[in-house]
Each structure stands twice: as C-alpha cells, then as structure tokens.
Structure 1
C-alpha cells in the first residue's frame, strides 16, 4: 500500500514508466494488477507519465482508460503530447508546438517521411522489415495486438520500428549509415527503432524541468523500465526500478546505481516496484 502520511507529501514526486513488459504484461498487455498503485498515485496527486515506443494513437487510448491527464511521451521520446488543460494550467508557451485532437504535441528531430526515404535506399543493402513494409495483419502476427491496436501502432510520426533479419555486423554498418543522416537505431523490446538523436531522457528532463518550474521546488522522480532504450530514462531520475524480462533476467548497467529490481515482469511487478520506490524516497528523506 502506498503511504499517504503527511511526510510523503513534504515534496512533489513524478513517476515515469515504460509500458510493454513494465506497466503492461508482456503477453496480454493487461494493466489490471497495477491499478491499486495507479489509483493511489492519482489520489495523492502524483503525476504518472507514460513513456513508450508506442504511438500517440495507442497512448491516448491508454491514458483515457487509466484516467491520466498528465503529458505522455511517444515513440521513444521523439514526440511529447501535452493535454490542452495541462498546458493552460502550467502556463506553457506553445510557439514550437502543434495542436491536434485536444492536445499540444512537439516532435523532436526528424519526422517519419524523412526516415522512410532513407530506409528505402538502405533496404537495397540490408535485410530488414519496417512497419511501412507490413500490413496490419503482419503487425498483428509480430505483436499479438488486435487489428485495431495494430492499426494504431502503425500511425507513427517520428520513428520507424523494424525487424532486423541481417547479421549483427551488418547492423553496425547500418547504424553507421544512419548516423550520417543524424539518425540512429535503438533496440526496444520487440523491435529496433530508427529515430533522430533524441531519446526518452530528453523528454524526461524537459518534463521534470517543467514540473519544477510549476511547483517552484525540486521534484523527486521515479522511473520504471525493462529494455535498453529505457536506460537513459532510468539514469535521469532519483529512483530507478528495473523490471525483469519474461525469462526472469534483468538488464544491467554499471552506471545505474541503487536500482530497485521489481519481483516480476508486467503489471504485478510494476505495482511492487512503484511501492518500493516510493518507500525508498521516503527513507532517503528520513535519513
């Protein structure tokens, strides 16, 4: 149970979380077992920021289901979406944003059409399959998503997920070719993602700075993730929670200090990880 005593309210906290294999179960994408912790965060006024490789279409629906009115970060940090009411409440200038479907959004780096143009050239030399090469049925087969969810996953604005079929050495060469065009490839849970030189940490820093400016005080931060593309986000916060992979193993990085290891993957482990991270922050304040 997440404590709601007066000491836990002595400072503001923000929670950032990856989705697949973290908040969402790996196989059935359920978040049901995490709901007690989500409800407590909401009751305490603690922002919950979803940070994922998923698209805005996918994440907008999930935020609606979870009744989350905070910003969310899509496509591995390439797109930040901020609800209109939140932007007004925080008094944020929107000069560099675009408005769509009741929210402001900001694309960092290259947009998807630029990425696809380059990938079409590279496809002559390397063996891979991108979302642009797939039908909805193909994406369903690769992900286990429903047809509707797969169609949402294909509505990308700033990244291109792909399945790599070539040799590991070819992947290194491929990455070198991308870098010549200010792009890079990042390994996610199921796919590699081609994107600009921005990542989840850029979005986390921006949002933390925004919350601190709004509150006028330092914000304590927690992040949960399970994949290599989550590491930069985990290193930006006060308390990192590393989620196990489906086989029970954990990713490791020597620069990730004092991390908490959640006891299991998915929603049930997420709940335990959030509760442990909040307790660790309280213990740190009391020390």
Structure 2
C-alpha cells in the first residue's frame, strides 16, 4: 500500500488570505503526525518565515522555500542522508536553483525596459503595507535567498515580453497571489518530485502524493501530484490545470477548504482515524 505525502501551499490555501490563520485546518495536524503522513510546506515564502511558522504550527517536516528554490531538511533527517548539503539557520539545505544575487545580476540589464520594483529595494515598513503582515513577519518575508518577488507596474503584454526576455538568461517569471516571482528553472513541482523520490527510498514504499494549492503558481505542483486539491480562493477563480490524476475542488475557501478536503481524504484512507 502506498504511503501518503501532502505538499501544501500556504497563503490562500493552508493560511487564510486575509488573516493568515490556519484554523480549522490546524486541528488535523496532530492526526496527520499520528498517521505518519508528512504535511510539507511548499511555498513562495522564505526560510525564516517558514521556520517561525513551522514552530507555531508544530510542523516537524522538511519544507520547500521560494517556489522550489531550495529544500530545508531538519538536522538528523534520514532523507538524502548520502548527499552533500549546505547548512543554513540550523537546517541542511538542498539548493535546486539560482541564488538571489545571481537572479538580480541577470535581471539588471532589463530594468530600463520595464516598470517594476523588487522586494530587495523596499523596507519592512513598505512590505507590511503591501501585504498586511506585521512588521516582524514583513522582515522575515524580505529575507530571501533563492528568488526575487516584484511589484509589477507595467501591462500584462509587457509582462509577457519580460518573461520571454528573462527565459533566455535562465530565469522564470511566475505570477503569485500578490507578486511576480523571479526564480531559476525550479518549481514547486520539482521540489515535490525530489521529496517523493527521497521518501520512496526512505520508506522503501511507493508514495501517493497530494498537492494543495489555490493559485497560478501552484499549477505545476497540482498537475504532477497523484491527487490535486484546488482550494477555493476568495479573490480569484480556480486556475485551469491539466492534471493526470484526481482533481478535487473545495467548496470552502482557504484553511476551511483545506480542512474539508484533507479530512475527507483521511476518512477515505483511514476509516477508523476519527
């Protein structure tokens, strides 16, 4: 029998779009742990943000940062035990893409042709105003290592031109919920694929992957998972996806929809769990 692995987006999916609360989804976390089902953050957020959130939500698992730019493994994890890894903030790190400094260097020649500014150029106060985050959380959100989010102030047509230009220098342009993200040739899907491979080796078992997301930048992750759970958003419609596996769309938004879908999944796989 396959083992379950959950890969979840955060903002608008596990966390409420407006309040950043995880309720009522958080009531399922102890049960997931008891059933040995990893619930892995796979998000555009930074490592410092996720370390704080991981502590707050008592998440013991690896996590993927900045749209698949890197994967952070807890010290002592048996995943990838045979690989050489860097260390950062007390975790072992698998770098899957470009560093932020490499991205900024490659985008510099295009600045005069397009109207945007990056988060590397703003203060924590400005970040808090843009996102509704507290000042402390805004500071964590600015501490990036593998991507550069932009506030796009140009047309959609110009954004398409920008993306084509940057593709020639190895940079992807990905639309997120609030920002346009610049990153290397990585994705949430590639980081999920890496994690599936590692867990299959560790468990000596096949893995049934479940991806949960609400936005355009979750598309690839949802499409490659065995079960794609599209969590309803209060601010946009479901992105169109071409998934090869099962697709579930929640009736409820954010963490309420997450709770609805994951509870149904656990009930189906583990009838005696509740």
Normalised TM-score (structure 2): 0.93
What corresponds to 2:81 in structure 1?
92
CA distance in structure 2 between the partners assigned to 1:17 and 1:42 by the alignment: 15
CA distance in structure 2 between the partners assigned to 1:125 and 1:198 by the alignment: 25
What corresponds to 1:181 in structure 2?
169
2:33 counterpart of 1:42: yes
Over 3 Å counting, the alpha-carbon distance change for 1:76 and 1:91 in structure 2 is closer
CA distance in structure 2 between the partners assigned to 1:200 and 1:281 by the alignment: 25
User: What 5-or-longer segments of structure 2 have no aligned partner?
Assistant: none
What corresponds to 1:268 in structure 2?
256
What corresponds to 1:129 in structure 2?
117
Which deviations, in whole Å up to 9, do the C-alpha atoms of 1:136-186 show, x marking residues without a partner?
A: 111111110011100000111110001111111211111122112111100
Indicate if the aligned counterparts of 2:222 and 2:243 stay in contact, CA closer than 8 A. Answer: no
1:108 to 88, 96, 115: 96
Question: For residues 177-216 of structure 1, what are the structure 2 equivalents within 5 Å?
Answer: 177-216=165-204
CA distance in structure 2 between the partners assigned to 1:211 and 1:66 by the alignment: 22
Over 3 Å counting, the alpha-carbon distance change for 1:248 and 1:151 in structure 2 is closer
**Pairwise CA RMSD:** 1.7
What corresponds to 1:249 in structure 2?
237
Question: For residues 233-248 of structure 1, what are the structure 2 equivalents within 5 Å?
Answer: 233-247=221-235
Indicate if the aligned counterparts of 2:226 and 2:245 stay in contact, CA closer than 8 A. Answer: no
Which deviations, in whole Å up to 9, do the C-alpha atoms of 1:21-75 show, x marking residues without a partner?
A: 0000000101121112112101211111110000000001111112212110000
Deviation at 1:119, TM superposition (A): 2.8
Runs ≥4 residues deviating over 6 A:
none
Over 3 Å counting, the alpha-carbon distance change for 1:171 and 1:275 in structure 2 is same
Over 3 Å counting, the alpha-carbon distance change for 1:215 and 1:151 in structure 2 is same
1:81 to 61, 72, 75: 72
2:43 counterpart of 1:52: yes
Secondary structure in 2 aligned to 1:172?
Answer: helix
Which deviations, in whole Å up to 9, do the C-alpha atoms of 1:234-262 show, x marking residues without a partner?
A: 12222110011214732222446531111
CA distance in structure 1 between the partners assigned to 2:50 and 2:103 by the alignment: 22
Which deviations, in whole Å up to 9, do the C-alpha atoms of 1:203-228 show, x marking residues without a partner?
A: 10111111111111101221100111
Which deviates more from structure 2 when the two are superposed, residues 33-42 or residues 250-259? 250-259
CA distance in structure 2 between the partners assigned to 1:218 and 1:261 by the alignment: 25
